[in-house]
DNA sequence: CCGATGGATATTGGATGCAATACGCCTTGA
DNA sequence: TCAAGGCGTATTGCATCCAATATCCATCGG
């Protein structure tokens, strides 16, 4: 691990990027979102450096960025800790998300759907309906539904053509452990319910019913939030018995 | 400027903070918001280091954070540039802000005002009324009004007790040059109009009229946004004649 | 006269070493 | 037995050095 490093295929990097710093940031961000790094966990710079095969410099940069994104808490001279979202936090996030998605839906309804976005939404809805009609439930179905749900909402944000709105929604979707918790308790009934919501939202948008689209989107997100909140506690990592201690005694 | 640095009173630092990195971040953030660093300007690490009397290390950290906050654009291997907000961007921001402030107002109306927040709002409104009644207009009046406006909205966010909402609103208020542009064209009429808006919002909240509070807040922010947008172009820095070039030839 | 090409150089990216800080633990005293 | 203080050490903060990269500019070829 000398200075030049010979640029081998860095193990631990999920994808090559422009700079090591960006690469590390992406790796750590994914890790926080999917629960690899659990809420309350200390982000030790040296450990991460060793794990990713880089020096502390890009790691420090990445940690600062993730803290600015709200994924980590930073305590000067102490370090970075994965931020813990309480049930209250999740409620707050979804309250905000619901009005933002409402805005997106209304905007698209008023602006009108382009053929491109109409096609995308139609495709997503068709596939979702197929999933519903199959009347089967499995890991694969759940993942497929997760992706379709993502795609539906994503298409609406994209059609709204509001850069700032995208950034805010992105922030609202960046919750530690969210990927690990979301959809975990879903079943065929909730799938059908969500599909029906999506269909109504789409029709309202297509019919350029701005106020109705906004209301439906808000309500849809609100209900999704309720489901998530009802299950959040069950997946919470246990409370921090001791305050996040600085040093973890090594095995040796 | 040797390694130990003897910790003198660093010139250029506006306030001492826990770490140099935080201090630099705050200084640069203020500079971007108040227009000291103009949109499109390159943030040269060496120049900033020299200006602030620190090494490049904390500067680099701060730049990464500001980029994550959306104040700077980052191009790998090229550097950081102050993000340029077009009229479209400002429209987008205010579209989002209006629904977020609407949410805040509705939340407070439904939750009910604590005595503390009721007192704060009352105080702010009284002072604003005094400002209106004086029927004078000056730099000082404008600044006072700016602060009172800030305080009014801030009190409502605080009363909403929604941490995430606060973060999102904060992001929506972080626009380069905003401090330099905002309120610049205001006069006694717009002051009176805004005061009247604030009063109505307050009364709706106090009367626990959630839907009405939401509507009024949305509309109020929307109108403020219209005013800002109408004047944004006039204060825009001229278009970048050449693409943001990497190197600026020195005088020597 | 204009476009391509190859240094020269400014600037960023990253690694390393050292200083500063805070935490854990042990000692000491009552 | 428990509280207070000091020491050792892990860890972060920062400065500096070197490598990598992109831009600029001069030169060259057409």
- As given in the structure block, the two tokens for residue B122 are 């009352």
Distance (Å, whole) CA A22 – CA B139: 45
Q: How far is CA B229 from CA A24, A130, B175, B181, in A?
A: 39, 46, 13, 10
Q: How far apart are CA B46 and CA B57, in angstroms?
A: 10
Dig out the tokens for B179 from the structure.
Answer: 């401090």
Most A CBs within 10 A among B164, B169, B217, hence the mutation to make, goes to B164
Confidence of residue A16 (pLDDT cuts 50, 70, 90): low
Q: Which residues, in sequence order, are CB contacts of A142 under 8 Å at separation 6+?
A: A183, A186
Contacts of B19 in chain A (CB under 8 A): 76-77
Prediction pTM value: 0.89
- Over residues B28-44, the mean pLDDT reads 96
Give backbone dihedrals phi and psi of B73, rounded to 5 degrees, phi first.
-100, 145
Residue of A nearest to B18 (CA): A76
pLDDT tens for each residue of B100-155: 999 999 999 999 999 999 999 999 999 999 999 999 999 999 999 999 999 999 99
pLDDT surpasses 80 at B9: no
B69-108 residues near strand C (Cβ < 7 Å):
76-80
Q: Are B146 and B185 contacting, i.e. CB atoms less than 8 angstroms apart?
A: no
Name the nearest CA neighbour of B156 among B125, B187, B126, B191: B125
For residue B195, what pLDDT band results from cuts at 50, 70 and 90?
very high
Quote the Cα angle for B231-B235-B240, to 5°: 130
User: Is the Cβ pair A95, B89 closer than 8 Å?
Assistant: no
Q: Chain A residues with CB inside 8 Å of B110's CB?
A: none
Q: Do B165 and A95 touch (CB under 8 A)?
A: yes
- B55-85 pLDDT per residue, tens: 999 999 999 999 999 999 999 999 999 999 9
Chain A hits for B103, Cβ within 8 Å:
95-96, 99
Residues of B in contact with A18 (CB under 8 A): 76-77
Comparing every residue's Cα with the C1' atom of nucleotide C10, the nearest one is B247
pLDDT, position B239: 54
- pLDDT given for residue B54 in this prediction: 97
DSSP code, position B239: P
Closest by Cα among A154, A153, A134 to A194: A153
**Residue burial A198-208, b: 16+ Cβ < 10 Å; e: rest:** bebbbebbbee
> B110, B168, B169: which to substitute to probe chain A, counting the most A Cβ within 10 Å?
B168
Query: How far does the CA of residue A20 sit from the closest CA of chain B (Å)?
Result: 10
pLDDT of A46-76, one tens digit each?
Answer: 999 999 999 999 999 999 999 999 999 999 9
| pLDDT tens digits, A76-129 | 999 999 999 999 999 999 999 999 999 999 999 999 999 999 999 999 999 999
Q: How far apart are CA B52 and CA B59, in angstroms?
A: 9
| CA-based nearest distance B82→chain A, Å | 16
pLDDT score, position A116: 97
Reference A91, options B205, B163, B159, B156; nearest CA is B163
Nucleotide nearest to A58 (CA to C1'): C14
Give Cα A52 to chain centroid, integer Å. Answer: 23
How far apart (Å, rounded) are the C-alpha atoms in residues A227 and B198? Answer: 36
Nearest Cβ partner of B77 from A18, A92, A168? A18
Chain A residues closer than 8 Å to B89 by CB: 163-164
Instruction: State the nucleotide closest to A56 in CA–C1' terms.
Output: C15
Three-state SS annotation for chain A = CCCCHHHCCCCCCCCCCCCHHHHHHHHHHHHHHCCCCCCCCEECHHHHHHHHCCCHHHHHHHHHHHHHCCCEEEECCCEEEECCCCHHHHHHHHHHHHHHHHHHHHHHHHHCCCHHHHHHHHHHHHHHHHHHHHCCCCHHHHHHHHHHHHHHHHHHHHHHCCHHHHHHHHHHCCCCCHHHHCCCCCCHHHHHHHHHHHHHHHHHHHCCCHHHHHHHHHHHHHHHHHHHHHHHHHHCCCCCCCCCCCCCCCCC
Write out the H or E segment, with its range, that includes residue B185.
Answer: none
Q: 3-class DSSP state for residue B73?
A: strand
Q: In which band, very low, low, confident or very high, does the pLDDT at B16 lie, cut at 50, 70 and 90?
A: low
Determine whether the distance from the CB of B61 to the nearest atom of strand C is below 7 Å.
Answer: no
Question: CB of A229 within 8 Å of any CB in chain B?
Answer: no
Does residue A174 sit at the B interface (CB-CB below 8 Å)?
A: no
Sheet containing A79-82, strands listed edge to edge, beginning at the edge strand earlier in sequence = A42-43, A79-82, A72-75
Q: What is the pLDDT of residue B72?
A: 98
* β-strand partners of B224: none
């Amino acid at each position: 691990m000398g200075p030049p490093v010979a640029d081998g295929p860095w193990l631990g990097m999920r994808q090559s990027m422009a700079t090591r710093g960006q690469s590390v940031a992406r790796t750590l961000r994914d890790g926080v979102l999917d629960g690899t790094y659990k809420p309350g966990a200390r982000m030790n710079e040296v450990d991460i450096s060793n794990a990713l095969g880089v020096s502390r410099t890009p790691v420090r940069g990445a940690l600062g960025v993730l803290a600015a994104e709200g994924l980590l808490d930073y305590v000067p001279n102490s370090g970075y800790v994965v931020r813990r979202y309480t049930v209250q936090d999740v409620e707050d996030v979804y309250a905000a998300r619901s009005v933002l998605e409402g805005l997106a839906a209304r905007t698209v309804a008023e602006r009108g759907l382009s053929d491109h976005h109409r096609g995308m939404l139609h495709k997503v809805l068709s596939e979702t309906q197929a999933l519903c009609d199959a009347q089967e439930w499995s890991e694969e179905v759940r993942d497929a539904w997760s992706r379709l749900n993502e795609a539906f909402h994503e298409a609406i944000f994209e059609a709204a053509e509001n850069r700032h709105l995208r950034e805010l929604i992105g922030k609202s979707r960046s919750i530690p452990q969210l990927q690990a918790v979301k959809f975990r308790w879903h079943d065929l009934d909730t799938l059908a319910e969500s599909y029906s919501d999506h269909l109504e939202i789409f029709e309202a948008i297509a019919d350029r019913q701005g106020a109705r689209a906004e209301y439906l989107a808000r309500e849809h997100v609100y209900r999704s939030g309720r489901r998530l909140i009802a299950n959040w506690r069950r997946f919470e990592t246990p409370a921090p018995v001791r305050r996040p201690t600085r040093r973890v005694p090594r095995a040796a």
